[in-house]
Chains A and B, each alone.
Chain A
């Protein structure tokens, strides 16, 4: 199905705004007016957005999904980040970082094995120096919890 890009956007924004309206009913009165006002304005603005949607800018949902799925790199990066965040507590950042950096560098085309290792470990070490040693920021240690 092909849509004018802005029309799809308009529909999505309107739908989400209506959804976000529901929680506001449980807010205390004085606290609810502000978010409700914002949402109403958003929904109102969807109208001119729909009307003035340019005919030439269209988007086909099938093509978009197919293109997203085949852009392997994008998928890899996003999934890597999600995994990194999910397991940060368990595994610890300093173990995850070199794996993360190395993996992404490799997938993005950096194939020289030795420099890859050096950069991945070096960056992790730099982060360790800067944050844990110098700035004493508490970083999740995960498995490295001595």
Chain B
């Protein structure tokens, strides 16, 4: 009998103790309880910053807590990437990563982070690379360019926005797939490369949709070809390299991510929030007004995209013998 009483009381204690444990499983996720910081690797006013500042207020509305964009420029984005990767994985620090930039940094040098240090929340912006020329150029179609380049390897100069930046990589991938050889001329950003193009100092420029939408509308530039998977609605007359038989797809992804060890329920909430934001009409309207090439991909899709990009870039690096320092 004494043992029985003791046994019963122990059981009672255990049961009572277990209630809070059981209850926690049914608790609402206690997040967010304070403001969230989103790190951007470029200065205020740049493309990523503008996108981040577009998304932030919408997320703020959904999460009911402040979402602040913090600029941490430097080292081509590496400082911000590193800060995001090493931040406390509690869901209060997020950051924007990019393909190919975030990946190419790890291939080009010994980076202070690795792609696996991030867990993806969702893709926000995507625009493909494309090749432009002035309307007065002797090249009227991309085939003209390819034909000339085949006869004169290394003669045609193509400008880009920086060594191993997305435009340069796109050009390298283009040359690798089509078998032609260009002379890549490096500039500090797309704007100077366009100046050189308009002044007739270089033959071609590889850049992104957002860089030249207005200029194409104002007939300053002509898009010879895009490196997307389908024709861009803004340039209906410009073929994709894919439809011409060259499977080179290059573009710029701006993706919201979090430190890899952030707890799964928090990530799920953020992913769902971003999905909601991306689907909201107000968001889409505002982005279109600002000329931002938004393109939402889910976390799964985006993670897959990054895996593929990493694979292709690694191959490109090896094939072309690019420096790894």
| A14 CB to nearest B CB, Å | 30
Determine whether the beta carbon of B323 is less than 8 Å from that of A138.
no
A28 to B, closest residue via Cβ: B323
Taken together as a complex, chains A and B put the C-alpha atoms of A28 and B163 apart, in Å, by: 13
B68 to A, closest residue via Cβ: A138
Interface status of B156 (Cβ within 8 A of chain A) = no
Taken together as a complex, chains A and B put the C-alpha atoms of A59 and B89 apart, in Å, by: 57
Taken together as a complex, chains A and B put the C-alpha atoms of A61 and B237 apart, in Å, by: 75
Specify which chain B residues have a CB less than 8 angstroms from the CB of A138 in the assembled complex: 70-71
| Secondary structure class of chain A's binding surface, majority of residues | loop
Band of interface residues on B: under 10
Contact with B along A118-142 (1 / 0, CB 8 A): 0000000000000000000010000
| A88 CB to nearest B CB, Å | 16
| A110 CB to nearest B CB, Å | 37
A146 to B, closest residue via Cβ: B34
Specify which chain B residues have a CB less than 8 angstroms from the CB of A28 in the assembled complex: 323
B34 to A, closest residue via Cβ: A146
Taken together as a complex, chains A and B put the C-alpha atoms of A138 and B72 apart, in Å, by: 10
Specify which chain A residues have a CB less than 8 angstroms from the CB of B71 in the assembled complex: 138
- Name B296-325 residues within 8 Å CB distance of A: 323
Taken together as a complex, chains A and B put the C-alpha atoms of A138 and B71 apart, in Å, by: 9
Specify which chain A residues have a CB less than 8 angstroms from the CB of B323 in the assembled complex: 28
Taken together as a complex, chains A and B put the C-alpha atoms of A28 and B322 apart, in Å, by: 12
Specify which chain A residues have a CB less than 8 angstroms from the CB of B70 in the assembled complex: 138
Taken together as a complex, chains A and B put the C-alpha atoms of A37 and B103 apart, in Å, by: 34
| B183 CB to nearest A CB, Å | 14
Taken together as a complex, chains A and B put the C-alpha atoms of A28 and B71 apart, in Å, by: 31
B70 to A, closest residue via Cβ: A138
- Name A20-45 residues within 8 Å CB distance of B: 28
Contact with A along B57-70 (1 / 0, CB 8 A): 00000000000001
Contact with A along B70-83 (1 / 0, CB 8 A): 11000000000000
- Name A99-120 residues within 8 Å CB distance of B: none
- Name A35-76 residues within 8 Å CB distance of B: none
| A10 CB to nearest B CB, Å | 35
B35 to A, closest residue via Cβ: A146
| B71 CB to nearest A CB, Å | 8
- Name A67-92 residues within 8 Å CB distance of B: none
Taken together as a complex, chains A and B put the C-alpha atoms of A28 and B325 apart, in Å, by: 9
| A29 CB to nearest B CB, Å | 11
Taken together as a complex, chains A and B put the C-alpha atoms of A28 and B321 apart, in Å, by: 14
- Name B175-229 residues within 8 Å CB distance of A: none
Taken together as a complex, chains A and B put the C-alpha atoms of A138 and B43 apart, in Å, by: 12
Taken together as a complex, chains A and B put the C-alpha atoms of A7 and B97 apart, in Å, by: 53
| A136 CB to nearest B CB, Å | 10
Taken together as a complex, chains A and B put the C-alpha atoms of A138 and B40 apart, in Å, by: 13
B323 to A, closest residue via Cβ: A28
B71 to A, closest residue via Cβ: A138
| A58 CB to nearest B CB, Å | 44
| B150 CB to nearest A CB, Å | 27
Taken together as a complex, chains A and B put the C-alpha atoms of A104 and B22 apart, in Å, by: 60
| B31 CB to nearest A CB, Å | 18
Taken together as a complex, chains A and B put the C-alpha atoms of A28 and B323 apart, in Å, by: 9
User: 3 A-B Cβ contacts within 8 A?
Assistant: A28-B323, A138-B70, A138-B71
User: Which B residues fall within an 8 A CB radius of A?
Assistant: 70-71, 323
- Counting from the closest, the 3 A-B pairs by CB-CB distance are A138-B70, A28-B323, A138-B71
